[in-house]
Amino acid sequence: MRRVLFAIVGLFGILSLSSCGYNTMVQLDEQVQSQWAQVQNVYQRRADLIPNLVNTVKGAANFEKETLTQVIEARAKATSIQVDPNKLTPENIQKFQQAQGELSTALGRLMVVTENYPQLRANQNFLELQAQLEGTENRITVERQKFNEVTQQYNSKIRSFPNNLMAGIFGFERKGYFEAQAGAQNAPKVEF
């Protein structure tokens, strides 16, 4: 009789511990998905600012059409790549990040070229849009960092014993991180 009682208590204990681990994994998964939504939110803010910026820049006499075309095409590509929050694999994060990086590069070129147009640099609307874009880039950095933090907590939880056993049973999979772009460790060359 005691053995049966100990077996029942032991089984109940194991199920309780397993249930707590499962619930924590679910909570962490929800945090990752919520933070991913916030990352997408700030990227969308940037994408929404770009048409206004492009229209403002178009008004500048003799502005390089090729630069504007590159920005418009990069924006279209970046906004076309959507990642399902349930499929935040390293590969999917990398594709998303690559498209967003191409847009950042195109915007950077646009800002450099605008230096050649004093009338544009004096345009209040342009200056406000530029300030909003700079603020948005800072927000993107902050939200990506938060995403990496909650993803690290989630990945650690599902990979640690005994949670890794339950994670495998219930299909919890490792999520990807935002990583530095290739070549980011190299300092840019400055020439005068």
Say how far apart CA 55 and CA 167 lie, in whole Å. 50
For the four alpha carbons of 173, 174, 175 and 181, in that order, the dihedral sign comes to: negative
H/E stretch holding 68 reads helix 65-80
Number of structural domains in the chain:
1
Tokens coding 50:
């770009």
Identify the three-state secondary structure at position 190. Answer: coil
Residue 82 · residue 128 · CB < 8 Å:
no
Say how far apart CA 24 and CA 170 lie, in whole Å. 13
Q: Is residue 186 part of a domain?
A: no
Q: Is residue 185 part of a domain?
A: no
Q: Is residue 36 part of a domain?
A: yes
In degrees rounded to 5, what are phi and psi of residue 190?
-115, 120
Q: What is the pLDDT of residues 65-74, one digit of tens each?
A: 788 888 889 9
Q: Which domain range does residue 119 map to?
A: 15-170
Q: For the whole prediction, is pTM greater than 0.85?
A: no
Q: What is the pLDDT of residues 29-79, one digit of tens each?
A: 999 999 999 999 999 999 999 898 888 887 765 667 788 888 889 999 999
Tokens coding 62:
């003799």
